[in-house]
Amino acid sequence: MPKLDELGKYAEIPRLGEKEWAHFKMPEIFDLIQRGKRLKNADHVPGMVPYVSSTANNNGVDDYVEATSSTRVFEDCISLANSGSVGTAFYEPFRFVASDHVTALKTPHLSKYVYLFMTALIEKQGSNFNFNREINDARIRNMQIMLPITDSGEPDYGYMEQYVRQKFEAMLSEYRAYIEARIAELGEPIELPTLAEKKWNPFPIVGLFTLIVPGKGKGLNHLNKTDNGGVNYIGATNRNNGVLCRVKEDEYSRSMILDGNCIGFIKNGDGSAGFAIYKAERFISTSDVLYGYANWVNKYTGLFFVTAQDMIEHKYSHGYKRNKEHLAGDKVMLPITDSGEPDYEYMEQYAKNMMLRKYHQYLAFLRSR
């Protein structure tokens, strides 16, 4: 198998459809094909080493444990889920402990870019497996993946690396342009008193809003989900800013759409009762969320307010759900002006300063890449 540094660099590379491709079995590509070791939950020793199992989330990381003599450790390879989220593959750049539901695929000379290229292709084989047809050791060794090839019929690792590098650079350029535009929009940071230096007072939440209305949705069963276009459907959760999915905007759903630039107060849900969210965009929502509108709300004051409001979420639980009457009794601590009114200008600039600081950190990181 040729080494990457023996394969030249591409100034301009062909598109995927212009390359010749061929099938290769896993043992033809990977020098190491090894399953992790079984580690019962009761045997997990808390530590700093990622524990990769058969989950489709978080790059497969399910826990953090100590690497002991009873574990199997890998690094800089692909992890392939044999069961559970069967067929899910991730490139793992870090040292990790693998469960027996995961197989490590490794060849020493491959770069992270080549691994990432291959990961996408290996995942395409996932449709051949399911909960009732898991990927055992024999099936892995018989699995075939399609790879671009050189004129001599070998896997074209140089092409794979350059293809992914170009994708990375294109994305980084987009991120840089976006961040630079956001920094220009936010302007220069303004020195402010710290939160501890400001005076704060409690305010009844309902008194801060000119209108509070519930979501108009009647459940997702009455709506058509979509991956393209449409509007966000908001559920009773603060995860993903409340967004459960996107639904089509049609004659039936249009009457349920609420305007954005508002604060959502979650009445109940999976551990989210009492939390708030800021919604900038138009949306359709479950009636389990109440929405407050006021002329002081914008994306900066809104985010500041949500953070302050969430300090009272602990009073709600599945046994004590939030409703409009409860909301009428809730108060939020806010910074105040010299006249004792909520200091919305301070809230807005504080949020802008925080964003500017983070954007400059991101930009410094991207420029170092």
- Residue by residue, pLDDT tens for the chain (369 residues) are 444 444 444 457 899 999 999 999 999 999 999 999 988 888 888 999 999 998 888 999 999 999 988 899 999 999 999 887 888 899 999 999 999 999 999 999 999 999 999 999 998 876 666 555 667 888 888 889 999 999 999 999 999 999 999 999 999 999 999 999 999 999 999 999 999 999 999 999 999 999 999 999 988 888 999 988 999 999 999 899 999 999 999 999 999 999 999 999 999 866 788 999 999 999 999 999 999 999 999 999 999 999 999 998 888 866 678 888 889 999 999 999 999 999 999 999 999 999 999 999 999 998 887
Nearest 5°: the CA angle 213, 266, 254 is: 45
Handedness of CA 234, 236, 238, 239 (dihedral sign): negative
Measure the CA–CA gap between 201 and 204, rounded to whole angstroms.
10
Tokens of 358: 């983070």
Token output for 107:
């060849």
In terms of Cα–Cα distance, which of 274, 230, 270 is closest to 253?
A: 230
d(CA 47, CA 49): 6
Q: Which of 73, 80, 78 is nearest to 49 (CA)?
A: 73
- Block residue for tokens 């049609």: 250
Q: Which residues contact 334 (CB under 8 A, 6 or more apart)?
A: 200, 201, 203, 305, 308, 342, 343, 347
Q: Are 54 and 81 in contact (CB under 8 A)?
A: yes
Neighbours of 58 (CB within 10 A): 10
Q: Return the structure tokens found at 190.
A: 């303004």
- 77-81, strands of its sheet edge to edge: 32-35, 102-106, 77-81, 89-92
Q: Do the domains at 16-154 and 200-344 have one common CATH topology?
A: yes
Domain parsing of the chain, residue ranges:
16-154, 200-344
Q: What is the pLDDT of residue 3?
A: 43
Closest CA relative to residue 242, chosen from 209, 208, 286, 308: 286
Distance, CA of 245 to chain centre: 14
**pLDDT, position 106:** 97
pLDDT given at position 268 = 83
Name the residue with tokens 């826990």.
63
Distance CA 347, CA 155 (A): 56
CB 80 within 8 A of CB 135: yes
Class of domain 16-154: alpha beta
Are the beta carbons of 33 and 103 closer than 8 angstroms? yes
Sign of CA dihedral 56, 58, 64, 65: positive
Instruction: Read off the pTM.
Output: 0.75
CATH class of segment(s) 200-344: alpha beta
Judge whether 94 and 74 are in contact, CB under 8 Å: no
CB-based contact 26:78 (threshold 8 Å): no
